[in-house]
Amino acid sequence: MKYHGVTLHRKLEKNMGLLIFGILFVSSIGGLVQVLPSIFQESLSTATENSHLYTAVELTGRDVYIKEGCHVCHSQQIRPLLAEVERYGPYSRADEFVYDRPFLWGSKRTGPDLHRIGGKYSNAWHEAHLIDPRSVVNNSIMPAYPWLAEWEALDLGNIQSKMRALKTLGHPYSEEAIEAAPGQLEGLSQLYALISYLQILGTGLAEEYR
């Protein structure tokens, strides 16, 4: 045997346990060095003045957004590039997303970015747009969501269990807020909840960063 490495590898080729261990070892290094430190980096998970805790209605709206797959075509991530800031508003910051479970940054802009959509259009515009996009944007290719006006916000899972689950994960919901949640959703449509969520998107950014 000329090279030590060759001998070692011949052992590996004949020993399944070693091979499995080798694969596990070699493939976990990247995750341990690159992903694990990020999970423990507090600045990525600590709430600041830029962080917004979703109300019961907004949280329900966010779950409507996820259920309908809005994130498939819309990003929520404005990159620090001149053209993006000009088009969409101030670039996105990590502390704006600490209450986002899951994150909804997206990977494709078939439609425009939505991170700073909050407050840009009226509720009436959003309602018309969601029910029939082409009634307000001529050549839009967005699907219509007429059913959202008929579906009840309360039908989208138990809001109290949702808030309790998030509380376990560190979202500071008070017991009063959790108690009051079902009452706040009473009689609202999923369309209304979704619009409430869209209207709050990106508006939490403190004045000095705008």
Partner 1 sequence: MTNREVYHDGVVKRLVQFSIIWAVLGMLVGVWLAAELIWPGLDFGQFWLSFGRLRPLHTNGIIFGFGVSALMATAFYSVQRTSNVPLYMPRLAWIVCYGWQVVVLTGGLSLLAGWTSSKEYAELEWPFDIAITIIWVCFAVVFFGTIATRRIQNIYVSNWFYGGLIIVIAMLHIVNNLAIPVSINKSYSIYAGAQDAIVQWWYGHNAVGFLLTGGFLGMLYYFLPKQANQPIWSYRLSVVSFWAFTYTYIWAGPHHLHYNSIPEWVQSLGMVMSLILLAPSWATMINGIMTVSKAWRKLTVDPALKFIVLALAFYGLATFEGPMMAIRSVNVVSHFTDWTIGHVHSGALGWNAMITYGTFYFMVPRMMGTELYSIRLANIHFWLALAGTMLYIISMWGAGVSQGLFWLSIDEIGELSYSFTDVMASMVPYYGLRLLGGLVFLTGTILMAYNLLRTMYGRNTVQVSPPEVLDEIRGTAHNPNAVMGVEPAAGKGGVPA
End-to-end CA distance of the chain: 67
Q: Least CB distance from residue 135 to partner 1, whole Å?
A: 13
Nearest CA to 193 out of 144, 126, 136 is that of: 126
Q: Using CB under 8 A, which of the segments 9-17, 120-128, 177-185, 194-202 binds partner 1?
A: 9-17
CB of 146 to partner 1, least distance (A): 6
User: Of the listed pieces 19-27, 116-124, 179-187, 201-209, which binds partner 1 according to CB under 8 A?
Assistant: 19-27
Which C-beta is closer to partner 1: that of 10 or that of 119? 10
The region of 122-130, 165-173, 179-187, 195-203 touching partner 1 under the rule CB under 8 A is: 165-173
Q: Which of residues 97-116 bind partner 1 (CB under 8 A)?
A: 97-113
d(CA 31, CA 45): 19
CA quadruple 50, 77, 185, 142: dihedral positive or negative? Answer: positive
Q: Which two tokens stand for residue 77?
A: 């991530």
Site for partner 1 in 178-207 (CB under 8 A): none
Residue pair 190/156 in contact by the 8 Å Cβ criterion: yes
Distance CA 209, CA 154 (A): 36
When asked if residue 172 is in the footprint of partner 1 (CB under 8 A), the reply is no
Using CB under 8 A as the binding rule, whether residue 90 contacts partner 1 is answered as no
Stretch that binds partner 1, among 90-98, 122-130, 178-186, 191-199 (CB under 8 A): 90-98
Residue 53 found at the interface with partner 1 (CB under 8 A):
no
Distance in angstroms (rounded) separating the CA atoms of residues 89 and 84 = 7
The binding track of 120-159 with respect to partner 1, each residue x by CB under 8 A or -, is -------------xx--xxxxxxxxxxx---------xx-
Work out whether 54 is an interface residue with partner 1 (CB under 8 A).
no
Q: Which of 63, 66, 43 is nearest to 163 (CA)?
A: 63
CB 76 within 8 A of CB 92: yes
